[in-house]
């Protein structure tokens, strides 16, 4: 990563993330964020109720509000689950 914080980085790729992240990757990210205590059960359930694009927005915004460490967890998870999208977004 550059010297930007992961939180700033997530904001800069938000639109592309929302447009391009797939349903399965989004679900796996949610599971991973829950497992790592980045989000709680209630946050996960509210995000699950949305359309894919709304869910992507909810996930990225929820994680950004939690700060740099949470944002890094999301970025790392995305890099593992979808290397192609991660490269497209310049996260790798």
User: CA-CA distance, 48 to 3, in Å (whole number)?
Assistant: 33
Provide the whole-model pTM. 0.89
Report residue 4's pLDDT band, with 50, 70 and 90 as the boundaries.
low
Please give the full DSSP string across 16-30, using - where no structure is assigned: HHHHH--HHHHHHHH
Token digits for 55?
Answer: 């869910």
Tell me the domain boundaries of the chain: 39-86
pLDDT digits (tens, 9 = 90+) for 40-68: 999 999 888 789 999 999 999 999 999 99
Helix axes 41-48, 23-35, angle to 10 degrees: 170
Q: Can you give the pLDDT at residue 29? A: 96
Percentage of the residues of the chain whose pLDDT score is greater than 90:
84
Residue 28: is its pLDDT beyond 50? yes
Instruction: Return the biggest CA–CA distance within the chain.
Output: 35
Token digits for 37?
Answer: 């205590």
Give the mean model confidence (pLDDT) for residues 19-47. 95
2-5 LR contacts (CB < 8 Å, sep 24+): 5/68, 5/71
């Amino acid at each position: 990563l550059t010297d930007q914080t992961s939180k700033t980085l997530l904001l800069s790729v938000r639109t592309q993330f929302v447009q391009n992240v797939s349903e399965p990757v989004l679900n796996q990210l949610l599971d991973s964020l829950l497992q790592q205590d980045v989000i709680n059960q209630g946050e996960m359930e509210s995000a699950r109720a949305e359309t894919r694009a709304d869910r992507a927005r909810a996930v990225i915004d929820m994680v950004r509000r939690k700060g740099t460490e949470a944002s890094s967890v999301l970025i790392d998870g995305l890099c593992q689950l979808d290397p192609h999208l991660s490269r497209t977004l310049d996260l790798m």
